Structure 1
Amino acid sequence: MTHNVMIVDDAAMMRLYIASFIKTLPDFKVAAQASNGQEALDKLSEVPNIDLILLDIEMPVMDGLEFLRHAKLKTRAKIVMLSSVAVSGSAHAAKARELGADGVVAKPSGTVSHDLEEKAGDELARVMREQFANA
């Protein structure tokens, strides 16, 4: 089964890196992309079959934490935070979990992590697959 993914990140290059990584995973495909939380909420109505959202925290218009406050009312998609500020044990990671994030993965080298696949690919793929392990 292939799971539809929405990538939400304000950095166009980061969306490209994430999409490129997802293409290496046969069980996932990119179904939508958004550059901020508000755009992502709008796209949930346009693309209703999203299974997983990879969500940055620091974005203009509506950040990832604010998106989380609204998203659980609009979608049943699993939400994995993928952010440079949501490192394990951080206040951002704890707040994301508190607001309903299903997983948290830190970007390995800042806002635009060109080395995502190399340095965090295995962890990201594992966390993504864990969301559907018991489905």
Structure 2
Amino acid sequence: MKYNVMIVDDAAMMRLYIASFIKTLPDFKVVAQAANGREALDKLDAIENLDLILLDIEMPVMDGLEFLRHAKLRTRAKICMLSSVAAAGTPQAAKARELGADAIVSKPSGAISHDLEETTGDELATTMRAVMGG
């Protein structure tokens, strides 16, 4: 079974890095991408069988925390924060958990982490599978 994933990140290069990494995972596939929370909310209803959302926090228009407030009412998809500002123990991480984030993974080297696969790939893949119950 392949899990359907939406990537929500304002940085086009970061969306590319994440999508490229997900292509290496046989049990996940990217079915949608959005540049901010508003765009992601607009796409939610059109995506059938969305299983997982990888969500950045710092984005224009609507940030990840605001998206979480709305998304938990509109989708059953699991939500994994993938952010450079939500490391364990930070106020952003606590708020994300409070709003219903299922997991939090830190971007390894800032907002655009070109080294995502090499430095955090194993952790991200493990977290994605754990969130999906595998």
Same fold (TM > 0.5): yes
TM-score tier by shorter-chain length is over 0.9
In structure 1, runs of 5+ residues without a counterpart are none
Dislocated runs of 4+, deviation >2 Å: none
Q: What TM-score, normalized by structure 2, do the two folds share?
A: 0.98
Identity %: 77
**Take 1:61 and 1:133, find their aligned partners in 2: how far apart are those partners?**
32
Separation of aligned partners in 2, 1:43 and 1:133: 25
- Tell me whether 1:115 sits opposite 2:115 in the alignment: yes
- Quote the residue 2:2 is aligned against: 2
Structure 1 distance, partners of 2:133, 2:123, is 15
Q: Shift of the alpha carbon at 1:49?
A: 1.7
Long gaps (5+) in structure 2: none
Deviation sequence 1:88-109 (CA, Å, 0-9, x none): 1111111000000000000000
Using the alignment, how far apart are the partners of 2:76 and 2:36 within structure 1?
19
> How far is the alpha carbon of 1:11 from its aligned partner?
0.1
Measured after TM superposition, the shift of residue 132 of structure 1 is 1.8
| CA RMSD in angstroms, aligned pairs only | 0.7
Q: What secondary structure, in the 3-state scheme, does the structure 2 residue paired with 1:39 have?
A: helix
**TM-score of the pair, normalised by structure 1:** 0.97
Q: Paired residues, what number? A: 134
Matches within 5 A, 1:61-76: 61-76=61-76
1:48, CA displacement in angstroms?
2.7
Partner of 2:94: 94
CA shift for structure 1 position 46: 1.2
Give the equivalent residue in structure 2 for 1:84. Answer: 84
Matches of 1:115 and 1:86, distance apart in 2: 18
